Amino acid sequence: MGDLTFDKILLLTIFFVPGFIYLKAYRLFIAETKTDFSKDFYEAIGFSFLNALIFSYPLFKIHNDNFIENNPVLYFIFLGLIILIAPIIAAFLFHLLSKKKIFSKYLITPTKSAWDSFFSKRESYYVIVTLKNDRKIGGKYGTNSYSSTYPIPKELYIEEVWELNKKDGFVKKIEQTEGMLITENEISTIEFFI
């Protein structure tokens, strides 16, 4: 194997790193299981080449006319933007676009379940959780509440527990409540109220 020179390291970085950063960033935006690196390899390389193609003119400009000797700090800032920041922005934008209705007829939604889709909105609701033993729990699912995402088993934490009347109306918050954690094997249905 030949000596590793700056030029060889730079080529490896430009044509390999952005794809892996894109995949890691994208998986932060969606619920995803850990995947085998060998399955990601070609996708990462493909994105890296696409990234290099999109930024080919800026890459050409910063590698000509002694740009690196005259502006070393600016060179590494531009390179960092192209290799590190651009893939993260691309992953975020693709995630946003894939959730838009106009694109949903052309793209498969990255959301793994209706559970993940609904709770990813992070909106506040009053809820009635009916357990498998027919017990009903009223509560507030608010900004301090939590629901797990794929692939973790479904769990729901409601930050306030409320007393319900016989007609399933919300009467009052139970004093000194710190909320309730309910696991998926206990849940039959969840009703949401504004």
Residues 48, 17 contacting (CB under 8 angstroms): yes
Round to the nearest angstrom and report the end-to-end CA distance of the chain.
65
> Could you give the number of structural domains in the chain?
2
Note whether 92 and 149 are same-domain residues.
no
Percent of the chain with pLDDT over 90: 43
Q: Taking the CB of residue 171, how many other CB atoms lie within 10 A of it?
A: 10
Q: Is 39 exposed, middle or buried (0-12, 13-18, 19+ CB in 10 A)?
A: exposed
Range of the domain at 16: 6-104
Note whether 66 and 147 are same-domain residues.
no
Backbone dihedral angles phi then psi of residue 105, each to the nearest 5 degrees: -80, -15
Domain boundary among 66, 83, 104: 104
Query: What is the value of pTM for the model shown?
Result: 0.58
DSSP H or E stretch at residue 73: helix 72-80
Token digits for 148? 């797990």
Question: Has residue 109 been placed in a domain?
Answer: no
User: What's the pLDDT tens digit per position in 2-16?
Assistant: 576 877 888 888 888
Note whether 54 and 75 are same-domain residues.
yes
Could you give the CA distance from residue 160 to residue 175 in angstroms, rounded to a whole number?
9
Note whether 100 and 11 are same-domain residues.
yes
User: What's the pLDDT tens digit per position in 138-189?
Assistant: 999 998 998 887 777 889 999 999 999 999 899 999 998 899 999 988 999 9
Alpha helices (H) along 86-165: 86-99, 101-104, 114-119
Note whether 100 and 10 are same-domain residues.
yes
Question: Has residue 188 been placed in a domain?
Answer: yes
Note whether 99 and 118 are same-domain residues.
no
- The b/e string for 125-147 (b: 16+ C-beta within 10 A; e otherwise) is bbbbbbeeeeeebbbbbeeebeb
User: What's the pLDDT tens digit per position in 167-178?
Assistant: 989 999 999 889
Note whether 28 and 58 are same-domain residues.
yes
Domain boundary among 73, 104, 135: 104
Residues 161, 179 contacting (CB under 8 angstroms): yes
Note whether 99 and 172 are same-domain residues.
no
Question: Has residue 13 been placed in a domain?
Answer: yes
User: What's 139's domain CATH number?
Assistant: 2.30.30.100
Question: Has residue 93 been placed in a domain?
Answer: yes
Note whether 76 and 129 are same-domain residues.
no
Token digits for 40? 């990601």
Could you give the CA distance from residue 98 to residue 14 in angstroms, rounded to a whole number?
26
- Residue 112: the pLDDT is 66
